Amino acid sequence: MNLIGKNITYKPDNQFHLNDVSFDFKKGNLYTILGRTLSGKTTFLKTIAGLLNPDTGELFFEDKDFSKIPVWERNVAMVYQQFINYPHLNVYENIIFPLKQRKLSEEQIKMDVEDALKTVGLVGFENRKIQELSGGQQQRVALARSLAKKAKILLLDEPLVNLDYKLREQLREEFKRIFSEGLSQDTILIYSTTDPQEVMELNGEVIVLHEGKVLQKGDAKEIFENPKNLKVAEISNDPPMNILTGSKGLDKLNFENISIKLPPYLKDLKSQNYYFGIRASEIKLDKEGEEFEIELAEISGSETLLHLKKGNSKVIALIEEVMNFKIHEKVKVKFNENKFYVFNNNEELVSSPYGVHNG
């Protein structure tokens, strides 16, 4: 009864959009697809929707060969990152459109639409034209349309990416509520995003996609604590995880220009060269720390991102308050030595502060 994909590959013009992707999605679950722009997220969702036919591979749903069923009979719903609604119809007509296609009874349609409007908070907007709505409201209409349809597979393709910061935060909160209340246990929800924050907050099963390949699968916590390799560590952190090359010494981690006390959990590490990863939030201002030069200071929301440099070592530090820094100013920062991820020369994780579960 699951949605199962086997070895799906899609490569138009010999470029891999999906490269040997397999999955097994269970009903009632939320799956997030995390990947950068052009990593194949949209292709992935379109393949499930049936808008694209993979070159090789199989797709099954409820034990039926899904690839034999055309899009319009698949009973899926999709929300695009662009706010796609039917411009010639008003809000109400937009939401009943898929229901009318399925020839449901008038009363059924009325109830479903009212529910959907309530869920997305657009009651009272029924007769508005789409063009009169703000971006956030347009996206709510699109969401309402896909919810009212009660599709068994609900696909959301970066639904928040085109919204401004504040609205994004707000809708993200609402999404969590809608996903937990508004969906039946029959629905498979697949949500794609570039934003690791969203993945953590939605807290579903995560699939990390890069250049059409699945790099890692697991729940959000697992991805956060045990990124399988360097790429996953970069993709699943925003700002990307700082990567420093260095080596393990007797009682120190030696990087170019910097050395840091060896944390206990890395004692058993072989002495050799590694990639060391540390999150931006684990680098703190500290009077006893190392001296770095500020290359750039960005203030975003209530945080300050410091781009720091010492010799050839560049790191980004996330300071959780708004502070004014001058460029080329010197600051002292301290690395939290207990939060280093260690990757070997094949860029695979060998040690994590949370212990390695995947070997």
Provide the β-strand partners of residue 299: 304
Q: Please identify, among the stretches 60-68, 76-84, 209-217, 224-232, the one whose residues bind other proteins according to the rule CB under 8 A.
A: 76-84
- Answer for which of 16, 60, 80, 325 binds other proteins (CB under 8 A) is 80
Q: Residue 306 in contact with residue 325, Cβ under 8 Å? A: yes
| Residue 97 touching other proteins (CB under 8 A) | yes
- Answer for which of 14, 63, 70, 288 binds other proteins (CB under 8 A) is 70
- Answer for which of 4, 69, 84, 200 binds other proteins (CB under 8 A) is 84
Number of residues engaging other proteins in binding (CB under 8 A)? 26
Q: 133 or 233, CB closer to other proteins?
A: 133
Question: Within 10 Å of residue 119's Cβ, how many Cβ atoms?
Answer: 20
Strands 252-255 and 303-310: unpaired
- Among candidate residues 28, 10, 11, the one with its CA nearest the CA of residue 187: 28
Please report, as residue ranges, which positions from 205 to 244 form the binding site for other proteins (by CB under 8 A): none
- Answer for which of 86, 134, 295, 358 binds other proteins (CB under 8 A) is 86
**CA distance to 271, 292, 308, per residue, from 202 (Å):** 39, 36, 31
Q: 167 or 269, CB closer to other proteins?
A: 167
Q: What is the spatial distance between Cα 73 and Cα 99, in angstroms, rounded to a whole number?
A: 13
Q: How far is the CB of 153 from other proteins (least distance, A)?
A: 10
Interface pattern 124-163 for other proteins (x via CB under 8 A): -------x-------------x---x--------------
Q: How far is the CB of 78 from other proteins (least distance, A)?
A: 5
- Answer for which of 30, 77, 120, 141 binds other proteins (CB under 8 A) is 77
DSSP state of 316: E
What is the DSSP secondary-structure string of 224-285?
HH--SBHHHHHHTSSSPPEEEEEEE-SSEEEETTEEEEPPGGGTTS-SSEEEEEE-GGGEEE
Q: How far is the CB of 194 from other proteins (least distance, A)?
A: 18
Q: How far is the CB of 41 from other proteins (least distance, A)?
A: 15
Q: Residue 122 in contact with residue 140, Cβ under 8 Å? A: yes
Q: How far is the CB of 74 from other proteins (least distance, A)?
A: 8
What is the CA 147 to chain-centroid distance, rounded?
Answer: 21
| Residue 82 touching other proteins (CB under 8 A) | yes
Prior bond of 239 cis (ω within 30°): yes
Ordered strands of the 56-61 beta sheet: 18-25, 3-10, 56-61, 64-65
Q: 141 or 308, CB closer to other proteins?
A: 141
Q: Please identify, among the stretches 60-68, 85-93, 320-328, 329-337, the one whose residues bind other proteins according to the rule CB under 8 A.
A: 85-93
| Residue 118 touching other proteins (CB under 8 A) | no
Q: What is the spatial distance between Cα 179 and Cα 30, in angstroms, rounded to a whole number?
A: 8
Provide the β-strand partners of residue 252: 261
| Residue 67 touching other proteins (CB under 8 A) | no
| Residue 93 touching other proteins (CB under 8 A) | no
Q: What is the spatial distance between Cα 134 and Cα 94, in angstroms, rounded to a whole number?
A: 16
| Residue 17 touching other proteins (CB under 8 A) | no
Q: Please identify, among the stretches 75-83, 225-233, 286-294, 329-337, the one whose residues bind other proteins according to the rule CB under 8 A.
A: 75-83
The footprint of other proteins (CB under 8 A) covers 46, 49, 51, 70-74, 76-78, 80, 82-88, 97-98, 101-102, 131, 145, 149
